[in-house]
């Protein structure tokens, strides 16, 4: 059964989402503040987390950052829920490792579609299965691990998928639109800044191997070993 953790302090909204998830065959778990959300995430290790940005005590951004720092919870996909339509929130959300975001008010139907899309991405990564090397970089798509010169690097599901897309077509230039379609799916067509934000974060995490990802100005990216 697919478990979805709902971290939301608006009780009515949390229950409405839980009710609809249950109807679709998911197992919802509710946490009403940031700290209990974090604890539930560690205990339950859900398949996906719906994380409200404005929470009492610990804000959603902090919850997200903390989850992404721990090996046990780093690969759990996160959809952020935000009341603000502000662009800044979205960028910050992606920077701390969220896989997607939804602006309130949202329709349950739209939320269910996003959940399905995010879970599909996660599933695809897990079923790919082989090892790719580029310089000091090793990607094991079976075990879903990445290492740089033997040191493991913890990536989010989205970062991993993006890295895999680049590595699988080593030396070939890929447009941002292509990467967006491959990694995020059709629902995100057009918002190419999402790709740039994730590439920046990926490069930082890869450290010495970050240079393997080359920017092709005004077009996209490629991975190259020399
Ligand atoms: Ca809230």
Q: What are the residue boundaries of the structural domains of the chain, listed by start? A: 3-123, 129-223
Secondary structure element (H or E) that encloses residue 113, with its range = helix 108-128
Give the tens place of pLDDT for each residue, 131-153.
Answer: 888 889 999 877 788 999 999 99
Q: How far is the CA of 51 from the centre of ligand 1 (A)?
A: 9
> Cis bond leading into 105, ω under 30°?
yes
Give the tens place of pLDDT for each residue, 76-117.
Answer: 999 999 876 555 566 666 777 888 888 888 999 999 999 998
Cβ 60 vs Cβ 80: under 8 Å: yes
Cβ 41 vs Cβ 76: under 8 Å: yes
Q: How far is the CA of 24 from the centre of ligand 1 (A)?
A: 24
> For residue 5, which of 32, 166, 24, 25 has the smallest C-alpha distance?
32
Q: How far is the CA of 82 from the centre of ligand 1 (A)?
A: 8
For the chain, how big is the Rg over CA atoms in Å? Answer: 17
Pick the CATH number of 129-223 from 3.30.160.60, 1.10.620.20, 1.10.10.10, 3.90.1150.10: 1.10.10.10
Residue 149 buriedness (CB in 10 A; 0-12 / 13-18 / 19+): exposed
Give the tens place of pLDDT for each residue, 176-215.
Answer: 888 888 888 766 556 788 899 999 999 999 999 999 999 9
CATH superfamily for domain 3-123: Response regulator (3.40.50.2300)
Give yes or no on whether 3-123 and 129-223 have one common fold: no
Q: How far is the CA of 141 from the centre of ligand 1 (A)?
A: 36
């Amino acid at each position: 059964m697919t478990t979805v953790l709902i971290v939301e302090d608006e009780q009515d909204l949390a229950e409405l989402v839980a009710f609809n998830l249950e109807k679709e065959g998911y197992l919802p778990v509710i946490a009403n503040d940031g700290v209990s959300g974090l604890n539930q995430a560690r205990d339950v290790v859900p398949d996906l987390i719906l994380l409200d940005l404005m929470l009492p005590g610990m804000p959603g951004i902090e919850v997200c950052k903390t989850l992404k720092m721990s090996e046990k919870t780093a690969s759990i996909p996160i959809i952020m829920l935000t009341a603000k339509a502000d662009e800044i929130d979205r960028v910050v959300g992606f920077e701390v490792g969220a896989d997607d975001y939804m602006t309130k008010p949202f329709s349950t139907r739209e939320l269910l579609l996003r959940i399905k899309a995010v879970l599909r991405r996660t599933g695809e990564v897990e079923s790919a299965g082989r090892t790719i090397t580029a310089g000091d970089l090793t990607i094991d798509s079976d075990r879903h691990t990445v290492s740089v010169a033997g040191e493991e690097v913890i990536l989010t599901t989205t970062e991993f998928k993006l890295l895999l897309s680049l590595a699988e077509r080593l030396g070939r230039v890929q447009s941002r639109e292509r990467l967006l379609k491959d990694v995020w799916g059709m629902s995100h067509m057009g918002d190419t800044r999402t790709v740039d934000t994730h590439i920046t974060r990926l490069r930082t995490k890869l450290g010495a191997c970050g240079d393997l990802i080359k920017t092709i100005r005004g077009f996209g990216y490629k991975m190259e070993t020399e």
